[in-house]
Chain A
């Protein structure tokens, strides 16, 4: 293997690793920049997720001040269509009445979608801009960080437990573990099976979102590497149209993926909370 190929291979791995490393603060390894204990902060994840949340709040306040019942503008119409879509989903999938569910579902859908949308910003743009101000590591998509997806799924899980106990009562909730799914003759198996089922809820919520977005980000990085081979020699510019076509194709497909993942996270949250609200589990 020639030295140039070795270098390009090393550069490729380095490029991907660099783009998948968070800006870590606190208890972090000085070489790998990975968290070494619980007390490590992924500043980029925190910054972008909070910034997007602030954006949603600011946008909502501004829209709320300019609401018009007689002549709604295009923006109001757009937001109303999203509201109606989410309200329809809640109406279809949520048994009973809880005024918290629809706003929660809407917040999850919009917030997760916006965090996913960060994936569609060119992979090198934000790290490059951050590099100008002395920030050498930046992972712009909060949902490609397990901490974000698990933070959300554990919050939903806490709500599931809260509503289970509130609606069914502590005894009713306990009965669910004892007699479900195989009836009263297999209580030990039922307990283990129900426990597994409950643990699987936050796991599947968090891992599904993380897995899809992380894989999507990785594909964007691999496509970006086609252009990166030009560093080896300008002859590689021959492949530039391929990168543009692949990037565009994956971007259009990924637009569907990010919407679908936000939608699934929202629907499953409603369904799980709906299950917590029914007493005939």
Chain B
């Protein structure tokens, strides 16, 4: 149960109702890093694709935006366990 709570807390496909805040608490410290690393990872991926296609900054912006959305989704999923 706890394993699944943690697993879903850091994943998109969470199942509502599986809440055990004590187990997820340590991960909250990483919420900020989770958001920033998703944005940075998005920009990195976009940078690689742009370098490959010579289309800078199109994919950097698209992937950066997707990283931001994904980061928000992950952090929201994590924080909603405490809501």
Distance in angstroms between the alpha carbons of A271 and B13 in the assembled complex = 15
Contacts of A267 in B (CB 8 A): 26-27
Q: Number of contacting residues on A, CB 8 A?
A: 30
Q: Number of contacting residues on B, CB 8 A?
A: 32
B61 in contact (CB, < 8 A)? no
B60 in contact (CB, < 8 A)? no
Is there contact, CB below 8 Å, between B11 and A203?
no
Task: Give chain A interface residues in 142-187, CB to chain B under 8 Å.
Answer: 180-181
Contacts of A192 in B (CB 8 A): 45, 62-63, 66
Is there contact, CB below 8 Å, between A203 and B66?
no
Task: Give chain A interface residues in 227-245, CB to chain B under 8 Å.
Answer: none
- The number of A-B residue pairs with CB atoms under 8 Å apart is 92
A94 in contact (CB, < 8 A)? yes
Pick from B6, B12, B45: contact of A271, CB under 8 Å: B6
Using an 8 Å CB-CB cutoff, how does the interface string of A261-281 with B read, 1 for contact, 0 for none?
001100110011011001001
Given contacts A196-B70, A200-B38, A200-B67, contact A95 B33 (CB under 8 A): no
Given contacts A195-B45, A196-B67, A203-B37, contact A181 B13 (CB under 8 A): yes
Given contacts A93-B23, A274-B6, contact A180 B33 (CB under 8 A): no
Contacts of B27 in A (CB 8 A): 264, 267-268, 271
B residues whose Cβ falls under 8 Å from a Cβ of A: 2-4, 6-7, 10-13, 23, 26-27, 29-30, 33-34, 36-38, 40-42, 44-45, 62-63, 66-67, 70-71, 73-74
A residues whose Cβ falls under 8 Å from a Cβ of B: 92-95, 180-181, 189, 192-193, 195-197, 199-200, 203-204, 207-208, 211, 260, 263-264, 267-268, 271-272, 274-275, 278, 281
